[in-house]
Amino acid sequence: MAVWGVLSPVVAGRAFTATVGVKCAAGCRLSGMPVVVRDASGAAAGEGRLGEGPSPGSRALYAAEVSLVAPDETGVHAWTADFAGGAFSDGDEAVPGRAGRETGGRPERTVTRPEGAGDRPEVAHASSSATFSFRTAGPPDHRVTVTVRERETGAPIARAEVRIGHYRGATGADGRVALDVAAGEHDVSVRKAGYEPHANRVAVTSDVALRVDAGRAPDPDLDDDHIWM
C-alpha cells in the first residue's frame, strides 16, 4: 500500500484529499474494492473505492482519491489507510469472499472457483494498512511567488523544490511557484539536483515576489537525508 498527494501543510479544519494505492503481489485486479482512512484515534475519516483500472504508468497499482477533513489542531498528524481485503480475484474480476490471515495484502491461498466461473484459480486477499503523516497549519495570509532561473543563462528551472517555512511546492515549466503562507518570518529553501541549493529568510507582511538565480553544482545529487515535513 502507498499514500500520496497530500498537501503540506493542510489548513487546520479544512478539507483535503489523499490518494491511496493498493497493489496485489500476484497482479490481481482490485477495482471497486474499498479503502478507509482512519485518524489518530482509529475513527474513519473518509473512504473510497479503488479505480476501474491500474494507475497510469503502473501495471497493477489501483488507487482511490479519498476526501478528508484536517484536524482543528495545528502540528504533525499520523493517520492510517486501511485495505480490508476480504475478496477473491483471479486477475480479471473481484467477487466477495473471505479475507486471509497474512498481512501485506498478498494472496494467502488458492481456492476453488464457483461452478461455471472458469478454470482459473482465485486467491484470498488479506488486509493491509499504511501510515502517513501530514502537517496542519493556520490559514494563510499572503502569497509568496518564487521564480527560479539559471544564473548563467536566465532560463527557467522547472521542478525545483521550494520550501517557505512549512509550506512547500515545485516550480512549473516557467520556473515559478506561488505559495500561500501565514504572515511572519520564514526560512526559504530552493533545491534541485544539479544546482547549488539556495537558502535565505524572508519577512512576509504582504504578498512577496522572490527571484532565485541558481548556479550549476559539480555534484548533481542532493543529500540522501533531505526530508521535509
Structure confidence by residue, pLDDT tens digits, 105-151: 444 444 444 444 444 455 678 899 999 999 999 999 999 999 999 99
Contact 148, 191 (CB under 8 A): no
Contact 202, 185 (CB under 8 A): yes
Residue 217 has a pLDDT of: 86
CATH of 140-214, one of 2.60.40.1120, 1.10.3720.10, 3.90.1170.30, 3.10.20.30: 2.60.40.1120
Question: Which residues have CB under 8 Å from 87's CB, separation 6+?
Answer: 33, 94, 95, 96, 97, 99, 124, 125
Residue range(s) in the chain whose domain bears CATH number 2.60.40.1120: 140-214
Domain spanning 2-135 has what CATH number? 2.60.40
Residue 182 has pLDDT above 70, yes or no: yes
Report d(CA 219, CA 186) in Å as an integer.
28
Nearest to 128 by CA among 90, 87, 89, 70: 87
**pLDDT tier at 87 (50, 70, 90 boundaries)?**
low
